[in-house]
Each structure stands twice: as C-alpha cells, then as structure tokens.
Amino acid sequence: MSQEIAVIGAPEFTTGFRLAGVRIFENVRDGEKDDRLDDAVEAVYDREDVGIIIMHAEDLDHLSANTRQIVSESIEPTFVTLGGGAAGATGLREQIKRAIGIDLMDEEDSQ
C-alpha cells in the first residue's frame, strides 16, 4: 500500500500543496484553529494511507497538550512542520532523521 502525503492548516497554506498533487488535506481557518485543529490532526493521523503529515509550525501553538505530544512523538505517520523558526534546516533535518533513522546530511553516513 502506498503512503500518501497529507497537509493540515489554513486554506492559504494547503492550497499550494493541493496544486502540487496532495490529495489529502484538512482546511482549518485561522479563527477556527483553537476549536478544530485537534480534530483535523486526529482525523488525518488515524488514516492508514498517510505516511507524512505537513503542518505550519505556528499551528502547533493551537494544539492541545495531548495532540502536540502525538505530533512530536509520532514516527508513522511522520509530522513535518514548515515555516516559522521551528523548522529551519536543523529542525527539518531532525524530523527526517527521526522518521527514517539516519541522518542524510551526515557526511560520514553518506560515504
């Protein structure tokens, strides 16, 4: 079974991914994030066909403590956060390393 990519966030965030071919998405408008973001994350997280879930880093602030813990500890599916200061090169590198178990940017591992 192939693993799909999903995106969760404001329509302004998800639209580019949808145009690029991402078919699984949850739109949560900015004014609804405190009420609906947890449900959106849980709905996508529970899908067996999703391997990667993309969110905006700032949306993590709108999640409950329990859902934030799921996002930070989940290996499959892997959550990738973009934007803001949290997902700079180091943050994204750590997310990839956690997901696949090796550091693709480590020169010693690649030789």
DSSP 58-75: GGGGGS-HHHHHHHHH-T
Domain ranges of the chain: 4-100
CATH topology of domain 4-100: Rossmann fold (3.40.50)
Burial group, residue 28, by CB count within 10 angstroms (0-12, 13-18, 19+):
buried
Q: Each residue's pLDDT tens digit in the chain (111 positions)?
A: 678 999 999 999 999 999 999 999 999 999 999 999 999 999 999 999 999 999 999 999 999 999 999 998 898 999 988 886 544 555 666 666 666 666 656 665 444
